[in-house]
Structure 1
């Protein structure tokens, strides 16, 4: 192996480990020390310290007086620079606000990325409700309302490629754990035009989701509203669905879709 190949491999390794440090800090927003991060990543403390100091020098990490570290707002600023290029976020905002005001509940906007959902926008519930989701976080396709609407209209070969990669891990008693069950569910989603999560991802949480399409009619995103079960009123479900579908169709229209 020549020197240039060795240097390239070392660079890729360093970038990977740097990203692992950043992701660990993101997953544990409370401040972390070198020893804790090293233990979580199975790295030496000297290596973790070196990466942290490099990230600190570039403004991505903050170190306090007790030598504990947390992410700085620099990463948020960096990510925010990409958001204006996501037309779907800008166009979805008013519709998401309407659904949030109508229901008082948390509204999400998600897109498909590398075999999972990425939440690109979120409007929190007016109630004090703690949920798994946050902007930038990933969630599975097979057990979420948004995941179902993102998958339901894929071409068959693309759909099956995604399904082959799914774990179908049981997260709750209601999680669908087989491809056959899931394909049956997707057929229902296509028939009714929206997706549901019946406590499949989180216990005691119901979710309704609608597709967002681009000007070619491709589903490029999903918008959902999530309810704790004790606040979900079955008799109002169709009204929730109607409002959600109208909002998602308006967003799609603004993105150029013509039914």
Structure 2
């Protein structure tokens, strides 16, 4: 396949080029400070901050307590399975709309690729300060409610093998204990383990040939306990049952993910 690597396009989009340069810096250096990024791009610190903030929002960068930016999980993420198609996302969308309207919170559809989850779609809620659009985000599966719900569908040997293969540092014994509980109760919860101030309830979606993805409702943690008391878990489980009955069982729509 021909690759005109050094041929500059006739029309250069400056802001896009700056973002791509930032991605290259994060990939090649591992981390960068705001002032260094501004110097490398020859832009003001405020402009560099806006660009880096968008990379953080989309998972291509993360920021530590020392305000240094590091390459985020989205940079090195594997390609998702080709069967995760737009048609499937569109088929699930009405159920996500309904759940977002019922809860007032944001609803996301995701798949698992290895030990990460990919957010395929988000319907934002109408409540104040609801969780924003997570489309395209990549997060560790064992830190998210939907990811844990999908991991719980694997046997313990397979889960342990995944972590050994990808050399992730995690409390395997503690995670396996949590996955047993998730299998028994039929849902998973995440209380600020993936994102500070955000909590969620998630369920795995399964079709004829095993698990297919996950559905999660996320809210600011300050509202999460009240949502649980008012029946959030039952609503999410109910949405899963309707999706599986109406779509996956009757129409045999499949949304695959690689193991």
What SS does structure 2 have at the residue aligned with 1:233? Answer: helix
**1:136–1:38: structure 2 CA closer, same or farther, 3 Å change rule?**
closer
Whether 2:185 is the aligned partner of 1:192: answer: yes
Distance 1:130 1:198 in 2: 14
**Which whole-Å deviations, capped at 9, do the CAs of 1:99-148 have from their partners, x for residues lacking one?**
101111111111011331011111113234455x6212211011110110
Map 1:212-227; keep pairs closer than 5 Å: 212-216=205-209, 218-227=210-219
What SS does structure 2 have at the residue aligned with 1:232? Answer: helix
Unpaired stretches in structure 2, ≥5 consecutive residues: 7-14, 30-50, 55-81, 251-259
Distance 1:250 1:155 in 2: 26
Cα offset, 1:257, TM superposition: 3.5
Distance 2:180 2:20 in 1: 49
2:104 matched residue in structure 1 = 104
Cα offset, 1:233, TM superposition: 3.4
1:209 matched residue in structure 2 = 202
Distance 1:206 1:37 in 2: 29
**1:86–1:178: structure 2 CA closer, same or farther, 3 Å change rule?**
same
1:243 matched residue in structure 2 = 235
**Which whole-Å deviations, capped at 9, do the CAs of 1:73-98 have from their partners, x for residues lacking one?**
xxxxxxxxx79935541332111111
Larger radius of gyration: 1
1:32 matched residue in structure 2 = 18
1:50 matched residue in structure 2 = none
Distance 2:144 2:214 in 1: 11
What SS does structure 2 have at the residue aligned with 1:245? Answer: helix
**Which whole-Å deviations, capped at 9, do the CAs of 1:12-54 have from their partners, x for residues lacking one?**
xx79x99xxxxxxxxxx876178656544449xxxxxxxxxxx
What SS does structure 1 have at the residue aligned with 2:143? Answer: coil
Distance 2:197 2:114 in 1: 28
Whether 2:160 is the aligned partner of 1:167: answer: no
**1:235–1:101: structure 2 CA closer, same or farther, 3 Å change rule?**
closer
**1:178–1:220: structure 2 CA closer, same or farther, 3 Å change rule?**
same
Distance 2:22 2:231 in 1: 49
Distance 1:161 1:128 in 2: 39
Give 4+ residue runs of structure 1 displaced > 6 Å after superposition.
none
Equivalenced residues, count: 190
1:90 matched residue in structure 2 = 90
RMSD: 3.4
Distance 2:117 2:207 in 1: 17
More helix as a share of residues: 1
**1:109–1:163: structure 2 CA closer, same or farther, 3 Å change rule?**
same
Distance 1:185 1:238 in 2: 24
Asked if the contact 1:84–1:90 (Cα under 8 Å) also holds between the matched residues in 2, the reply is no
Unpaired stretches in structure 1, ≥5 consecutive residues: 1-7, 19-28, 44-67, 71-81, 169-176
